[in-house]
Structure 1
Amino acid sequence: MSHSRTIGRRTLLGATVGVLAAPAIVQAQAWPSKPVRVVNAYSAGGTADVVCRIYCQALGERLGQSFTVDNKPGAAGTIAAQIVARAPNDGYTILYDATAQSVNPSLFAGKLPYDTQRELLPIAQTMQTPVTLVRNAQFPVKTVPELIALAKSKPGSLDCASTGIGTVQHVSLELLNQKAGIKINHVPYKEMGSVRNDLFAGRIPLLFSNVPGTVALLTSKDVTCMAHTGPKPVEVLPGVPAISEVIPGFETWEWNGLFAPAGTDPALISRLNAEVNAVMKMESVAKRLAELGALTQPNTVVEFTAFREKQIAFFAEMVKSANIRIE
């Protein structure tokens, strides 16, 4: 075969690949040409919903098409996830999900109507924030070392609330029990309103919450934030120490992100990721998220995918070691 003929075939092959790839690139550039449905796995008014709406409003303004939030709460986020897993993979139905996606594969082992890792493709992380440990102001201890000492002196006598079995707040309590060698009872609530009422009234002394939820609580003198689960200081919680200062390596996260159905064109996912990161950097968006305590940082599809995989593995280990089960 002559050198010129080899070059000719290579040129033809390259041209063919270019033609095949072109429609995907054009599709990604043309998107969105109609409104985008964002299926939110959480109820209206909660942290995930507020953050979702901040992003959707900004994305709509930036891209000239509405990003309509469709709240489909229930079953630990699995209702919304299933809707999107079965939706057309054209970029016009995407999922807004959170930390529950990390635990559901192990919490509902073999029972999910979809495969999280195969059928829901990460687009971009929109928020990552530490969990917080909040106390009623009348509770007799103010620090984590004091709490550990009290729990050891009265094993099984202390209660701590969360908003449900298998939540990252619940897992944070179980991790504290394991790492500190204590036993604080988990008291699951169905929704935050009831938890707050009982915390403020002193009927429940402790609550694992998140930074945005805690910022809202601290306007009252009836509660204080004892600690958080991040590796470094949290700006909106000045003076609040990290549990890792007492238990090295202690770290848990609540997070939000966007996902697409399996088969969605990678070029379109990359476009979505770029748009989310652009919105994240907008001064007006960054300010609102910072005021909430919703921590953000630009991230790639690869980075967000790796983060989710690491979180799924962490929760699988915790579900097993703490014997966490849906009752």
Structure 2
Amino acid sequence: MTLPLLPRRACLPVLAALAALALPEAVRAQAWPERPLRLVVPYAPGAAADALARAVAERLGPQLGQTVVVDNRGGAGGTLGADNVAKSPPDGYSLVLGTDATHATNHLVARKFPYDPVKSFTPLVPAAVNHIVLVTHPSQPFNTLKELIAYAKANPKKLSFGSSGPGSAHHLAGELLTELAGIEMTHVPYKGGGPAITDLLGNNIPLVFASLATARPHLESGKLKALGVVEAQRFPGLPQVPAIGETVPGYAIQSWFAFFGPAGLPPAVTARLVSELNKALEQPAVREALAKNGMTPTGGRPEALAAFLQTEISQRARLVKAAGIESE
């Protein structure tokens, strides 16, 4: 069978596309980006992730010469938004602001999961640490972490702690404390940090692991008191509050954000994104915006992010198993 000949004018778009594909990757990458980028936030507007994404997008757009649109796609603890990017073309136009939930924990607590947190993505840049603090009501009979541990040992199973949900970094922070301090506490899951703090303010629960952005107003007003931050070192924005690891050796866990693209991003596009994302995170306006929301920008290289992710998955897997968290 002989194919019909196309008119010369009809052939031009096809020839142009073939010519573009024939260009070396480095040459094509120089033209990137040629249209707006999409930065997916796998949570609803107003969350800490949303504040981070919008602060970065506002600087990243002018740096790239294109608009960066923040696309909020909440649902399933962040899984839906991350999966959307995992299944997007690997052309550099779709990115996701991943978290410890979307890339280290969710797949451990789900019977069926739509993507591989490592193989489905190209790691780009560590973005920020979302600081978590252990807070209590002023009426509780302990003022320091050491006093809390002593009370828990003298009153086994009497204490409970709230978190933003099963398998969250806030939940696992509590499980790690019970393990390393040798105490027993009951986990009470909430649908977000806000409801947990509301119950704590009403003295309906003795302890909550909360994001600093959620707890700070109540700490400043004296309605709540902080016993420790969950990172290995004190948070400079809350220097009077010790790190839990100062009392419990080896204790450290993080709630974090990082930028990822779909698996298979071209190396030249990856390199450009890494450079520009790091540059955006260094901007004073971005750092100030994150500090107001209880976060510290990090930045870094894809290799470091990939290694960190493997460590995080291993730690979360151990904690999920130790806590007896069942897959849903």
Per-residue deviation, 1:59: 0.8
Cα distance change of structure 1 residues 274 and 210 upon mapping to structure 2, 3 Å threshold:
same
Moved more, 148-157 or 212-221: 212-221
Q: CA deviation at 1:105?
A: 2.7
Distance across 1 between alignment mates of 2:255 and 2:240: 21
- Residue 177 of structure 1 corresponds to 178
Within the alignment, does 1:102 sit opposite 2:95 as a pair? no
1:54 and 2:55 equivalent? yes
Gapped regions of structure 1 (runs ≥ 5): 1-19
SS in 1 for 2:153: helix
The unaligned stretches of length 5 or more in structure 2 are: 1-20
SS at match of 1:275: helix
Where does 1:216-255 land on structure 2 (aligned, <5 Å)?
216-255=217-256
Structure 1 residue identity aligned to 2:196? V
What is aligned with 2:312? 311
Deviates more, 1:51-60 or 1:284-293: 284-293
Cα distance in 2 between the residues matched to 1:310 and 1:98:
14
Counterpart code for 2:109: L
Identity across the alignment (%): 36
How far is 1:231 from its partner? 2.0
| Residue of structure 2 in register with 1:143 after alignment | 144
Secondary structure of 2:234 counterpart: coil
Give, in angstroms, the shift of residue 219 of structure 1. Answer: 3.2
Q: SS at 1:51's partner residue?
A: helix
Tell me the residue number matched to 2:29. Answer: 28
Match of 2:66 in 1: 65
Secondary structure of 2:28's aligned partner: helix
| Count of aligned residue pairs for this structure pair | 308
Shift of the alpha carbon at 1:53?
1.1
Amino acid at match of 1:23: P
Distance 1:187 1:115 in 2: 29
For 1:251-286, what per-residue CA distance to the aligned partner results, in whole angstroms no more than 9, with x for missing partners?
000100111111111221121111111011112212
SS in 1 for 2:255: strand
Contact 2:193 2:214 in 1 (8 A): no
Asked if the contact 1:131–1:169 (Cα under 8 Å) also holds between the matched residues in 2, the reply is yes
Over residues 20-42 of structure 1, what are the superposed CA-to-partner deviations in whole Å (9 max), with x where a residue is unaligned?
Answer: 99632233332222111111111
3-state SS of 2:216 partner: helix
Backbone CA RMSD of aligned residues = 1.9
Bigger Cα displacement from structure 2, 123-132 vs 90-99? 123-132
SS at 1:198 equivalent: helix
Alignment match, 2:265? 264
Taking structure 2 as the reference length, the TM-score comes to 0.89
1:150-187 per-residue CA deviation (whole Å, 9 max, x = no partner) reads 11122111111101000011111111111111111111
The residue number in structure 1 matching 2:156 is 155
Query: TM-score, normalising length from structure 1?
Result: 0.89
- Tell me by how many angstroms 1:102 deviates: 0.7
Moved more, 155-164 or 194-203: 194-203
Q: Secondary structure at the match of 1:236?
A: coil
1:120-139 alignment runs, 5 A limit: 120-139=121-140
Give a deviation string over 1:95-119, Cα, whole Å, max 9, x none: 112110211232225x211112111
Quote the Cα distance in structure 1 between the aligned partners of 2:196 and 2:47. Answer: 14
Structure 2 CA distance for aligned equivalents of residues 149 and 95 of structure 1: 43
2: CA distance, partners of 1:102 / 1:67? 26
- Runs of 4+ that moved beyond 6 A: none
More deviation, 301-310/135-144: 135-144
1:239 Cα deviation after fit: 0.8
